[in-house]
Chain A
Amino acid sequence: MDSRTLSHLRALEAESIHIMREVVAEFAKPVMLYSIGKDSSVMVRLAQKAFFPGKLPFPLLHVDTTYKFQEMIEFRDQFAKDLGAELIVHTNQKAIDEGANPFKLGTSKCCALLKTRALLDALEAGGYDAAFGGARRDEEKSRAKERVFSFRDKFGQWDPKSQRPELWSLYNSKVEKGESIRVFPLSNWTEMDVWSYIELENIPIVPLYYAKEREMVVRGNQLIPLEHNMPLAPGEKPQMIMSRMRSLGCTYCTGGIASDADTMPKIINELVQFRRSERENRIIDHDQEGSMEIKKREGYF
């Protein structure tokens, strides 16, 4: 390869850094959505590079549904501490006090209250005019048309039909008060790129991504981790299964996969062999055909 050609990972890195700097230069109060997952970890590393030797010029915001894995919360707190970053944790406490949970409400309503509503409230409370998210266009069909700078109206809603055209790397960052932009610096990354970069850069990730014996319930073709007092259906029996999480969300909504990939090279190798998309194990995406798009219109990331 020509010595003056960037590898594809370094080219993606350069693009993401450019996007982050553009946001910080043009917006008054940006925030970075931090979900604790692998994509967030990559996004934070890119931000460290973008503003080196300075600190992150924005806080990290975690929307905590209280149904996350304990390992995620521990990782989050340690990660923010090591980084010296400001971490804001927001929970829709009112909904939880009123008994919102996935077992009772179903995943759709639960998600609307504990994730979408909570996120919109947190963004409004902080007065943030730009919010970074780690979503990638390869994750799901409706994300393929998402812009890098994605305009949201005063209610945080996305209108897929009137998106601003986005040319070259010239991003339109004009918004009125109350309106905002969701920014996706990892738009052009694939799941494979994310893992390859984590390996290349030696980025810390939540141990849940590595395979080990975990207590799981087998439901249909899903492996559901047994946490947060999940009610069992008749005849269901928890069993110890060598498994890992391919993407992280709430315990009930994140299916695991049977796997013995307990190191990074094994995970990448598994991915090469594996021909299932990562969100397949996300229960929320399968509620109905096009469910991600409906959620996004309402303000979900």
Chain B
Amino acid sequence: MSESQLLRFSTAGSVDDGKSTLIGRLLFEAKGVYEDQMAALQKSSINRSTGPIDFSLLTDGLRAEREQGITIDVAYRYFATPKRKFIIADTPGHEQYTRNMATGASTADLAIVLIDARKGVLPQSRRHAYIASLLGIPYIAVAVNKMDLVEFSETVFDQIQKEFSAYAKEIGLKNLAFFPISALDGDNIVERSARTPWFKGTPLLEHLESVPVAEDRNFTELRFPVQYVIRPNLDFRGFAGQLASGVLKPGDEVMSLPAGRVTRVKELPTFDGPLQEAFPPMSITVVLEDEIDLSRGDMLVDPNHVPHVSRRFAAKLVWMLDEAGGPNRTYLLKHATQTVPCEIRRIRHRVDINTLENVQAERLELNEIAAVVMETRRPLFFDAYSKNRAMGAFILIDPISNLTVAAGMIEESTPESVEPLQLRNLEFVGEANESTSSTQLTNAERFARAGHYPATVWLTARRAVAYLLERRLFDLGCQVHVLADDSESHLLPELSRVLSNAGLIAICSIASPDPGERDRAAGFAAANRFLEVPAKELPARDDDAVEVIIKRLEDLGVLRRKDRFERGEGI
């Protein structure tokens, strides 16, 4: 029992397609229903018109709902088989409750989409599938229910399977499995039904027991958001949090964000003794070798695979409040362990969940889904939701009512989606390619004046190194300037381009490295005029680190060698 795995799944279905009955059936078959609960069911005074035992009453919780005869919110149910423990997020299917479906789907490993065999693929089924894909649920089980009412017709089942598969392909859903069932009678729930000899698949419960749970976990790229600092005395400083992705072992090299410091894991202490290895979704405590400054909201990452760092990004939002929202308002954005003020910069378009068409929108109403551009007051460290759910998910909170107003999923940013750059309209003159330029200055003249070539130094080490390097280069007679990515980090490549055009050495001090920005900056620099210095290649002492960088600039021919410098000679 203690070695079984956990599978979280969500169920979505319309009011009448038998979702509650299916859940009641699963609970009943797995002995998750107690005798006294069964007795209370039979006693229940509400009139309903289903079979001998109304399994659906097991799952309808609150008084108000029992009176209305519908489920109105997300309810969680539990059952276990010898192989697995299951958590069901049971969400209602009617139109106005997109927000509940999204809520249930957010933690699910699998979604059961219910389709009434008599009615086929309804708009509601499509909505459920779309939300499942939006929320990145790795597995979809399509339960074609009420097969008993269509005489277990293979043709009906095939038709539904074909139609749904086509739609799933359109929206990018993967890992589909189809089941012809009768929740009421129990066909193909626990055992293969004799009434569907043409069905070659496994029964539904067996599928739930065998779907690989950890398939989509990411064990390669370390993401450890610092949740809380444990400091019981002066000798102990542990960073507590839940590992979002990657594997962590004592001795592993980690980089802190936003500071960009690289250090190693000293140990992973727990109540039960030190860990040899930690992996997601463990809640752990990390002790580092060096005393570095880290607090809640910061993050430890793999120095070789850093997340995106930006104040501006593209995202999908599901609006969850009955009051409309949109741009020109401040919200609080909670992502990993950080909460920062933000704005919806722009609504790119709204998605019509029935037609999948993009529709222009000025604001967002309850249950609407939209593609937006977000801007936060401080940079976030994130990955696209499609790559890493924990690192791409956020919620928006209204700072006045304190209500959760939206759920967000960060998308892979493209220049088109985010449009970060006002500088795009500037004309870059005097570039390396002189034939298209109207400037009268040549690079040789600039070199003669400055005594060195222009260059871009892309520095992911601690910021102190950047400023010390600036000091040293200045003292050597160079024209130099530090660009720090404190705020408009996405402008750095363009700014460095302007500086090199003017003949300067631009030191880009990158607290939060973003591969896309690095590539842009490298693209702007002339050949051999872009120097990238990863933090881990530098000595611990700032002075030594600066010496190493200056040596590399000399090797590239950007600077004259030091001894020749001192004698006033050329390169």
Contact = CB atoms under 8 A, between A and B. Distances in A.
Interface of A: 1-2, 4-15, 17-18, 21-22, 24-25, 48-55, 137-138, 141-142, 144-145, 160-161, 163-170, 172, 174-176, 187-188, 190, 192-193, 196, 199-200, 268, 275-277, 280, 289-290, 293
Output the residue of A5, A15, A196 with the most chain B CB within 10 A: A5
Interface of B: 1-6, 31, 33-37, 44-45, 59-64, 66, 72-78, 80, 84-85, 87, 99-100, 102-103, 106-107, 213-214, 217, 219, 227-228, 230-232, 236, 238, 240-242, 247, 269-272, 279, 281-283, 285, 296, 320, 332, 334-335, 337, 389-390, 393-395, 397, 399, 402-404, 407
B73 A163 contact: yes
A237 to B, nearest CB: 26
Contacts of B64: 160-161
Given A168-B106, A168-B107, A289 B283 contact: no
Given A1-B3, A21-B228, A188-B76, A50 B240 contact: yes
The residue among A5, A53, A165, A192 with the most chain B CB atoms within 10 A of its own CB is: A165
Nearest to B277: A4
Residue with the greatest number of chain B CB neighbours at <10 A, chosen from A24, A168, A172, A200:
A168
A124 B33 CA distance: 38
A266 B224 CA distance: 41
Shortest 4 CB-CB contacts between residues of A and residues of B: A54-B232, A17-B283, A8-B6, A174-B402
A298 to B, nearest CB: 14
Contacts of A4: 214, 217, 219, 247, 279
A7 B107 CA distance: 17
Contacts of B5: 1, 5-8, 11
B296 A25 contact: yes
Given A6-B281, A168-B390, A53 B269 contact: yes
26 contacts: A6-B5, A6-B281, A12-B6, A13-B283, A14-B242, A18-B241, A21-B240, A24-B228, A52-B269, A53-B269, A145-B61, A165-B100, A166-B404, A167-B107, A167-B395, A168-B393, A168-B395, A172-B334, A172-B395, A188-B87, A190-B78, A190-B80, A200-B2, A277-B34, A289-B44, A290-B62
A288 B59 CA distance: 19
B403 to A, nearest CB: 6
B35 A188 contact: no
Contact of B78 (A11, A188, A275): A188
Nearest to A290: B63
Contacts of B397: 172, 174
A1 B178 CA distance: 26
B106 A167 contact: yes
A188 B102 CA distance: 19
Given A1-B3, A165-B320, A170 B281 contact: no
A51 B231 CA distance: 9
Contacts of A22: 227-228
A196 B82 CA distance: 13
Contact of B76 (A1, A9, A187): A187
| Residue picked from B4, B78, B80, B403, most chain A C-beta under 10 Å | B78
Contacts of B390: 168-169
